[in-house]
Amino acid sequence: METRVAVISIIITKEDSVDKLNDILHTYRQHIIGRMGIPYRTKGINIICVAIDAPSDIISALSGKLGQLPGVSAKATYSSAIENTDEK
């Protein structure tokens, strides 16, 4: 199976969506390399950056589910490196 490293950038404008967002991230925890969250109180938003190593369809599914939450915007940026995990 081929995996890619990507970063999902998330901006949260509705605090009510944070619990559901964390539930979704927890579901994909086996693929997550790490995450960084920054509360930007001046603008009343939260910014989260999630590094992930997973097949492209998993990355797209996660980004899509996050982006469907009210007040949440999510975009994935993919690295060009692809790894075949079947050979290991």
> pLDDT (tens digit, 9 = 90+) per residue, 17-76?
999 999 999 999 999 999 999 999 999 999 999 999 999 999 999 999 999 999 999 999
Q: With a cut of 70, say whether residue 88 has pLDDT above it.
A: no
Q: Which two tokens stand for residue 25?
A: 């991230």
The answer to whether 11 and 70 have CB atoms below 8 angstroms apart is no
The answer to whether 43 and 50 have CB atoms below 8 angstroms apart is no
pTM to 2 decimal places: 0.88
Q: With a cut of 70, say whether residue 85 has pLDDT above it.
A: no
Q: Which two tokens stand for residue 42?
A: 């001046």
Nearest to 7 by CA among 83, 81, 78: 78
